[in-house]
């Protein structure tokens, strides 16, 4: 791909491959065969799980970017508080990264930290930084879908570059996703050979099989002349942050019999880009719920570069700067450009029918 971000892509490709190798090594050794009872898993304040892989991969991604692009800001999901409190957990992270450093084929562009204090310092920097419109900012989700990752199911590794407040580059490693997977797609639809999906703003989106030497294929843009009969949906039924029954009522209204069911948000965006579906809707059940930048930045861009339009529930453009939590936007509505306004209108109709008009205008 010829683009103004060729240097960034040349770093990201080997970096995402290395991160995917590391994540699969950890799940097949440290966390298997019984993730529920394995050491190396802790709970965050919101009761979501975090593993050795989350910490190790965030350290890997951020250390590499800091080496290659030292003036850029770095933002990531995790902080190092639990690493500093648990010497055994930190030791497992160091051991995992040391293992990666000893593997053949890890390219020179990848920086692998092995000093415990350096790991904690850079993870903490990611965990406290805020994406800015005034500074080039990288945003990382080291393991999107930690719950499904621990179960040996689908997950993603997300890296985004934001420039002048806009998503400029997105690259997602999908170590277990077959890019040709037939719909409907669920968390358990795993493949022995994964893929990498990436995009540069204004230069299209691409997919390639995971592994060095595979050639990327350009993703086609979604058709723009679509009606509501053409909606193919992706969502998630296993988390409870959305308005109960709203998506089911929307599907019923549109006469849609089935939907992709994916827990990782990043993979929902990727399923849209890969044309496994073309529409997603998420209306939080409470006004105090908002998206988190690492679940969406970059991955949204990949869908947009295939002809998708992404807004919040009120039709506002989604911003990924100014806060770690997407405070200026409420929920998500995404569909191909020619379909988005029609879907958004139907979302409003269903919300009003269900008595949730109070969530509009948030």
- What residues form the annotated binding site for Mg(2+)? 77, 141, 143-144, 295
Rg over CA atoms, the chain: 19
Neighbours of 352 (CB within 10 A): 11
323 vs 161: CA distance, rounded Å: 15
266 vs 237: CA distance, rounded Å: 15
Q: Counting beta carbons within 10 angstroms of the beta carbon of residue 209, is it exposed (0 to 12), middle (13 to 18) or buried (19 or more)? A: middle
CB 140 within 8 A of CB 131: no
Owner of token pair 């450009």: 337
Phi, psi of 311 (to 5 degrees): -140, 175
Check residue 262 and report its DSSP letter.
Answer: -
Tell me which residue of 55, 51, 49 sits closest to 31, measured CA to CA: 51
Give me the helices (H) in 79-231, please: 81-85, 87-101, 116-128, 146-150
CB 172 within 8 A of CB 295: no
């Amino acid at each position: 791909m010829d683009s103004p971000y060729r240097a960034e892509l040349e770093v990201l490709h080997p970096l995402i491959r290395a991160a995917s190798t590391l994540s699969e090594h950890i799940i097949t050794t440290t966390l298997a065969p019984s993730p529920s009872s394995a050491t190396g898993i802790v709970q965050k304040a919101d009761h979501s799980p975090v593993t050795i892989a989350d910490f190790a991969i965030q350290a890997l991604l951020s250390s590499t970017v800091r080496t290659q692009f030292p003036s850029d800001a770095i933002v990531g999901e995790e902080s190092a508080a639990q690493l500093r409190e648990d010497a055994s957990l930190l030791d497992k992270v160091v051991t995992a990264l040391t293992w990666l450093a000893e593997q053949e084929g890890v390219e020179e562009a990848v920086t692998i930290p092995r000093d415990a204090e350096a790991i904690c310092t850079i993870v903490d920097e990611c965990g406290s930084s805020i994406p800015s419109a005034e500074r080039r900012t990288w945003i990382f989700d080291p393991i999107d879908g930690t719950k499904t990752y621990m179960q040996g199911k689908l997950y993603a590794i997300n890296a985004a570059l934001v420039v002048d407040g806009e998503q400029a580059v997105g690259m997602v490693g999908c170590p277990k996703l077959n890019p040709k997977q037939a719909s409907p797609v669920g968390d358990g639809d795993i493949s022995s050979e994964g893929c990498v999906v990436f995009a540069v703003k204004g230069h299209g989106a691409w997919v390639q099989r995971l592994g060095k030497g595979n050639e990327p294929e350009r993703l086609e843009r979604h058709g723009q002349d679509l009606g509501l009969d053409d909606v193919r949906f992706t969502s998630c039924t296993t988390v409870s942050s959305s308005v109960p029954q709203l998506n089911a009522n929307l599907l019923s209204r549109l006469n849609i019999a089935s939907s992709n069911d994916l827990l990782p948000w990043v993979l929902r965006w990727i399923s849209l880009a890969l044309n496994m579906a073309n529409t997603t809707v998420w209306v939080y059940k409470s006004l105090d719920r908002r998206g988190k930048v690492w679940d969406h930045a970059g991955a949204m861009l990949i869908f947009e570069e295939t002809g998708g339009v992404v807004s919040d529930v009120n039709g506002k453009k989604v911003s990924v700067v100014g806060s770690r939590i997407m405070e200026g936007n409420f929920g998500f509505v995404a569909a191909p450009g020619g379909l988005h306004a029609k879907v958004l209108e139907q979302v409003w109709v269903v919300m009003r029918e269900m008595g949730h008009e109070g969530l509009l205008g948030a």
